[in-house]
Structure 1
Amino acid sequence: MGCVLGQHDETGKKEHAIYYLSKKFTDVETRYTMLERTCCALAWTAHRLRQYMLCHTTYLISKIDPIKYIFEKPALTGRIARWQVMLLEYDITYVTQKAIKGSALADYLANQPVDDYKSMQCEFPEENIMVLFEEYDDGKWTLLFDGASNIMGHGIGVVLISPKEKFIPITARLCFDCTNNMAEYEACAMGVLGALESKAKVLEVYGDSAIVINQLNQEWETRDKKLIHYFTYIKELSLEFDKITFHHVPREDNQLVDALATLSSMFKMNQNDEIPSIKMESRDYPAYCHVMEEETDGKPWYHDIKHYLINREYPPGILENEKRNLRWLSASFFVNENILYKRNHDMVLLRCVDVNEAKEILQDIHDGSYGIHMNGHAMSRKILRAGYYWLTLEKDCYNYVKKCYKCQIYADNIHAPPVPLNTLSVP
């Protein structure tokens, strides 16, 4: 018996089609009828490809229909009942085989079965597994280091990574004259000391300085008098570890500590001052979208643009850069009879609306008299075709659809189970 698994996406859904993995029948299974052998092959294939077939619709392409035989057989034997229970969790659709060339690969697999086949125990799979957990190597720490020297000063940066993936950043500014290689050695020494303070016994050191890594690995000879003392000091610290290794990485893979070293080299501070904590976040939308969507001053988001187009006056107290941005932004707007319009890419004029009007438009388009509860992308395109515009149009459409009660209640059910299904009864 052979099986071929394929995937196609013609109707917008991910679907799988199976013919028949290579399986060698046992002595008992060879005495089955042709239809029962096909059913056995289908059950064996579904068991092996379970992780693929659970989340998709599967088309069974075969000469005969084993699904109809299994589910319409009046007298169920032990094996037929077992196959029936196993196939209940899959969405399998039978398709009649038409082209002979489509099954050439499956026929080849059927003629070349494997010899290491073991009998399938499908009643309680993996019954000996009680709990799954992620195992950590408690003794393995990772150290990333880098040094920076520029016209502003010298700085070093270190990141210690614990066995549980906890990142510990360390940075310092060097207030004495040193070369770039000396800064690299200073960073490595500070990181090794930090690892000793964290009671690490196994340490992997990564740096982008080829000369430092190769000298510490004793592949290159250390001849510079300024670096010999650093080399001796780090080697003495290395004796405190059970195992320590040094590895070279490209600069592209060492960006985090490179940023720390550059920051410490350019940031001037007093002797007893501490660098304040820096919080980094990501933004998915331009800054003006977050500012314009809330009309806290009672004016619409397009007030400054409209005022500039009518009176050619800038808002009071703005900078020259903001004036230039306002002129650039106003070039795509047009005022007619005290109504502001936005020129689209195809030169169609779209009426600009404020927050209150935008909420009414969203409600009417999505769930009004002619609303069809469409998704966010389609609703934003329909609003543009209707001739309306505001800055946060597409984002507001997506957020409105997510909060629609009817869309959540009457949406299509997700057929994939939240947890893997297990057979509860044995035929």
Structure 2
Amino acid sequence: MQVRMELTYRTKKGLETIFSSDMMQAGQAIVIAEDMEKTGRIKQLTFIDSNEGSWTYKQLKKYMEEIKTEPHDIIVYFDGGFDLKTNKAGLGCVIYYEQNEKAYRIRKNALVEGLVSNNEAEYAALHLGLTELELLGAHHLPVTLVGDSKVVIHQLDGEWPCYEKELAAWIDRIERKLEQLGITPTYKNVSRKMNREADQLATQALQEIEITSHRER
């Protein structure tokens, strides 16, 4: 989970001002907050998550202790490719997460038939990533979903409308899966270069090269 810190700082002479930090991983925010508290000049400290939820120091630290043994700080990269000649789609997803104070990476691809466009392949790749999260046991936590398709990202975040029947069906399927897992999504659109791993997995799937990997980073 990512949070930003909002704090009131008081000088020795009693002057006060309010600071707000950039977003950062909750664990990092706790370490910084602990260090700042040692100055004795922090009058008030609040953590704000990506959904504008407010946390006290004790609440955030307790939450981080509770999820330590569960998969958390999850980022899912996804990409799909469609071959017009074969009418086959290659799906790729990469999942980064932490558990028991260790960092892990899952790489998975799949070759599928029955899709009709590259956009549909992109949706199917995201659904593949969510299926991997379900197998991982991830549930009831925020997850960042990253793709290079503006159509998919902005249709899912509600910024763009969806008129295609087959894509609307995928949106419904993905939203049901998110609700089933209790996942609060944050959608992020990146360039293809920034989505290189998932793109390569999708390409390898179209070449009938199957990839399944789950290891510590």
Secondary structure of the 1:232 match is: helix
Deviation at 1:277, TM superposition (A): 7.3
Corresponding position of 2:18: none
Amino acid at match of 2:74: W
Supply the RMSD in Å over aligned alpha carbons. Answer: 2.4
Corresponding position of 2:81: 148
1:209 matches 2:149: yes
Corresponding position of 1:162: 97
Corresponding position of 1:252: 193
Deviation at 1:224, TM superposition (A): 0.6
5+ long unaligned stretches in structure 2: 1-38, 40-63
Deviation at 1:226, TM superposition (A): 1.2
1:238 matches 2:178: yes
Secondary structure of the 1:235 match is: helix
Distance 1:243 1:276 in 2: 28
Distance 2:167 2:193 in 1: 25
Counterpart among 111, 122, 129 of residue 173 in structure 1 = 111
Distance 1:264 1:155 in 2: 5
C-alpha contact (below 8 Å) 2:95/2:106 kept by paired residues: yes
Distance 1:191 1:159 in 2: 7
Deviation at 1:242, TM superposition (A): 4.4
Distance 2:154 2:211 in 1: 35
Deviation at 1:267, TM superposition (A): 1.7
C-alpha contact (below 8 Å) 2:155/2:162 kept by paired residues: yes
Amino acid at match of 2:121: A
Which structure has greater strand proportion? 2
Corresponding position of 2:207: 266
C-alpha contact (below 8 Å) 1:203/1:241 kept by paired residues: no
Amino acid at match of 2:182: F
Distance 2:126 2:162 in 1: 16
C-alpha contact (below 8 Å) 1:205/1:247 kept by paired residues: yes
Deviation digits for residues 119-140 of structure 1 (CA, Å, limit 9, x no counterpart): xxxxxxxxxxxxxxxx997432
Counterpart among 167, 188, 202 of residue 227 in structure 1 = 167
Deviation at 1:246, TM superposition (A): 1.1
Secondary structure of the 2:103 match is: coil
Amino acid at match of 1:144: Y
Distance 1:228 1:251 in 2: 24
TM-score, normalised relative to structure 1? 0.30
In percent, how many aligned pairs have the same letter? 27
Deviation digits for residues 35-67 of structure 1 (CA, Å, limit 9, x no counterpart): xxxxxxxxxxxxxxxxxxxxxxxxxxxxxxxxx
Secondary structure of the 1:166 match is: strand
Corresponding position of 2:51: none
C-alpha contact (below 8 Å) 1:146/1:207 kept by paired residues: yes
Deviation digits for residues 207-261 of structure 1 (CA, Å, limit 9, x no counterpart): 0000100011011111111111101111111212242211111111000110000
Distance 1:140 1:237 in 2: 19
Structure with higher RCO (Cα < 8 A, 6+ apart): 2
Amino acid at match of 1:221: P
Count of residue correspondences: 139
Secondary structure of the 2:161 match is: coil
TM-score, normalised relative to structure 2? 0.58
